[in-house]
Structure 1
Amino acid sequence: MPEQRVQPGYPLLALLDRIALAPAAQNVLIRGLCNHAQDARPGDLFVALAGARTHGLRYLDEALARGAAAVVWEPASGIAPPAVASVPVIAVDDLARRLGMVADRFFGHPSRGMTAIAVTGTDGKTSVSHFLAQALDAPGRGCGHIGTLGYGMYGHLEHGAHTTPDAIRLHAELACQHARGAAATVMEASSHALAQYRLDGVALDMAILTNLTRDHLDYHLSHDAYAAAKRRLFAMPGLRHAVLNTDDPFGAALAAALPLSVNTMGYGIGASPLPDDRSVRATDIEATRGGMIFDVLTPRGRGRVESRLLGRFNVSNLLAALAALLALDMPPAQALARINQTRGAPGRMEAHGVAGQPLVVVDYAHTPSALTHALTALREHCAGRLWCVFGCGGDRDAGKRPLMAQAAELHADEIIVTDDNPRGESPAHIKADILTGFSTGRAVRVIHDRSDAIATAIGAARAGDVVLIAGKGHEQVQIVGVEQRPFSDSQTVAAVLDERPA
């Protein structure tokens, strides 16, 4: 975890300039930022935010006991600081939205010293950010990476709790990457992060949209609110480039709406609403057992991609990365060479198996759209029957469970429903929700234990078949209740295949 402290300290009044007023007598030196009282250390500024269930101010005593030098708090109904405190306690309206600016100042504006790129969308964020970080990483010009796979320099990531960390951790990570010599950084921007202003304060050079379909409606409540969160990324101050999937209706509409001050580049497979000098398109797409082959038309000439990645949607993901590289003025031949060398992200259309065995693919697809795309893509690589092993996470959008079933029924030949991460819900209840989406009489196997489900599918599949293990991708644990049990789809698949003769 990056160091979240500064020596010898940052004057509180300078840190809060144009954000909040504080008497000159309260100008203490701030040595660190924290928004969890249990993390407070001597000299820290404790940031007390209004949360959905509680308020950070309720933990003020613990923060002070641990040595917090000052407190900023977000006014909310039913909460107030003590009348007398031993340290400055300053109210800041809209603190959640302003925290990014505070963190950016405290850590010395790290994103200004790098090319900062953010990728958003329902599906494809992890793959596109992984592809771009690979392509931009070079000796002496490293690339940072922040997302589902972890935080750090490309190839040396540490596990992160969230796809996009909170504003303090985000700017601390950017400062760490800058100190390590990163010339660029690529981050995933989740809808939660955008709605909660976690990226505010980042000097963003480029924003990329992969697509927009149903997800996280348990949090956003409506598709319009979900779309509004994604749209925030493209209204970031100082944004120079936008790279948009114009095959997606939301992306096409956004392309038409962005101001001329933003250099907008579209990418896709279908016809583009943007002129040729602002589009990257794929033609003559061919799927093989070993990957995808296609031609590209770009504003800077034609080219050919021969990729080891599976799936037509990875054509779209590769186009996003290529369009971004060209927008950043990488020479076309160099950009194409990097795209051709791209390796897949862990748990994203990750292929297992050798000749004489079924092709087994581990993928993170956990939305109806992603499952549809994965199965549709794999059908092109499948000479036999297409298998789908999937479940749904507990304590998440329950409305998508029958939709996942419908996607599997429509696109797979053989289906096994199993546990994903049940969390605090009954696994039987989750599977019952899923089963409501299948047609009456559809043959579906239900196998509670995920290892058994994977082994059953691989054991029954034949050479020429394709088996999709969907939902958990790169994850290394299965969450049951509050327990995190070690579990890896990839390791389970590899072990089962090792025991099966080719």
Structure 2
Amino acid sequence: ASLRRFVDAGLRACALEASSIGIDEHRLDGTRVHTAVFTNFTQDHLDYHGSMQAYWQAKTRLFQWPGLAAAVINIDDAKGQALTQLPAVQTLDLWTISCHAPARLQAQSISVGETGLEFDVVEGTQREHLRTRLIGQYNVNNLLGVIAAMRSLGVPLAQAVGACAELVPVPGRMQRLLEAGQPLVAIDYAHTPDALDKALEALRPVARQRQGRLWCVFGCGGDRDPGKRPLMGTAARSADHVLVTSDNPRSEDPQAIIGQILPALAGHASLHQQADRALAIASAIMSAADADVILVAGKGHEDYQEVAGQKRPFSDLAQARAALARRRSAAQGVAA
């Protein structure tokens, strides 16, 4: 129905996320796909697929789609390199992308700051400079994927890069609250070990530039793959301060979920736990120094928290803004 509305509105192309579950459940059957894009492959959805092999097989079906014309593949990911070797892929208009290795489309001279990142996009002898409000190494790969997809549709490189320069951060995806004299707070949907690791990696140079410390507030969802929980703890170890809290506990005991995360953080120099997510966010913001950076991870854009079978109104963004306002008021009271 949505695609029909796009056609009726005169649009000729759209981008959609082809989830492994959607592919496996045949939700995309009958949809004509011109270009398939591969960004990365990490542990997720094992509560559905049962194994990494089954998950991978579902992913690769997109690159063997009837009528597929082009493929964009991130070869900085080991599975991406393997994907390029599939016989079906080698018959396509193949766009390899990389920040490190020779590829059809490359990112060079990458620079990251608290307000965004910039880099050169190189295709053969062509070079275009891109400055964007997005941050994080993973977004360099994502932007390369977008540009390569547009190139596969015949969009000139300069035009594709120019379009990406106009992009604004998606709500709940590395959404930053930046105020003078306050810690920088980033709200992100990162809820897998790889995503959490990449979010912290993205914010580490920002904390370094601010000469502050890096905080991580996160939890794990209930009624989902429990094997992911210690891996999330391992990913969070790179933060200077870690505060483990609830996510969407669903039918599980939040404290029990936290208990499955904590062993992976044993020995961390600054480890805290608070099952109440609102209190956890407030605690981090009130405890942080002005120069610090706080990642609130796991729920991103969600406006609810699922607890004991109920979806209760809850927003990480709203909680962070309220805590920053209290911190600001407290500072003004001291100054007075």
Q: TM-score, normalised by structure 1?
A: 0.63
Q: Are 2:27 and 1:202 equivalent residues in the alignment? A: no
Deviation at 1:260, TM superposition (A): 4.3
- Residue aligning to 1:90: none
Partner residue, 2:132: 307
Give distance in 2, aligned partners of 1:173 and 1:186: 12
Match among 330, 354, 361 for residue 155 of structure 2: 330
Q: Which residue of 2 aligns with 1:286?
A: 111
1:173 aligns with 2:2: yes
Task: Tell me which residue corresponds to 2:281.
Answer: 454
Q: Name the stretch that deviates more: 324-333 or 479-488.
A: 324-333
1:309: how far off?
A: 1.1
Q: Does 1:190 align with 2:19?
A: yes
| CA deviation string 1:238-271 (max 9, x = no partner) | 0011111110111111112244431110112011
Query: Which of 235, 245, 255 is equivalent to 1:407?
Result: 235
Identical residues among aligned pairs (%): 46
Q: Does 1:229 align with 2:229?
A: no
Which whole-Å CA distance do the structure 2 matches of 1:468 and 1:213 have between them?
Answer: 21
Aligned partner of 1:265 in structure 2 is 95
**Correspondence for 2:75:** 246
Deviations 1:322-381 (A, max 9, x none): 111112111222111111111111111111121221110000110111111110111011
Aligned-pair CA distance for 1:436: 2.2
* Maintained 8 Å contact 1:386/1:466: yes
Equivalent position to 2:41, from 189, 212, 217 = 212
In the alignment, which residue of structure 2 is the partner of 1:139?
none
Which shows bigger deviation, 471-480 or 430-439?
430-439
In 2, Cα distance between equivalents of 1:250 and 1:231: 10
TM-score, normalised on structure 2?
Answer: 0.93
Quote the Cα distance in structure 2 between the aligned partners of 1:306 and 1:443: 35
Aligned pairs (5 A) from 1:43-192: 172-192=1-21
- Distance in 2 (CA, whole Å) between partners of 1:188 and 1:441 is 37
Are the counterparts in 1 of residues 84 and 90 from structure 2 also a CA contact under 8 Å? no
2:187 corresponds to: 362
Amino acid at match of 2:219: G
Alpha-carbon distance in structure 1 between the residues aligned to 2:123 and 2:15 = 22
**Separation in 1 of the partners of 2:194 and 2:181?**
31
Unmatched tracts of structure 1, length 5 or more: 1-171
What is the CA-CA distance between 1:192 and the residue it aligns to?
Answer: 0.9
Over residues 174-220 of structure 1, what are the superposed CA-to-partner deviations in whole Å (9 max), with x where a residue is unaligned?
22322233221211111111121211111111111110011111221
Q: Once the 2 structures are TM-superposed, how far is the Cα of residue 223 of structure 1 from its aligned partner? A: 1.0
Select the structure of larger CA radius of gyration: 1
> Is contact 1:389–1:468 with CA below 8 Å preserved after alignment?
yes
Q: Deviations over 1:364-401 (max 9, x none)?
A: 11011111111011101112100000000000010010
Which structure features the higher share of helix residues? Answer: 2
Per-residue CA deviation, residues 454-491 of structure 1 (Å, 9 max, x unaligned), is 11111111122110000001111111122111111112
Opposite residue 438 of structure 1, the aligned amino acid is L
Match 2:223 to one of 378, 395, 398: 395
Letter of the 1:280 partner, please give it.
L
Q: Secondary structure at the match of 1:215?
A: coil
In structure 2, which of residues 287, 303, 310 is the aligned counterpart of residue 476 of structure 1?
303
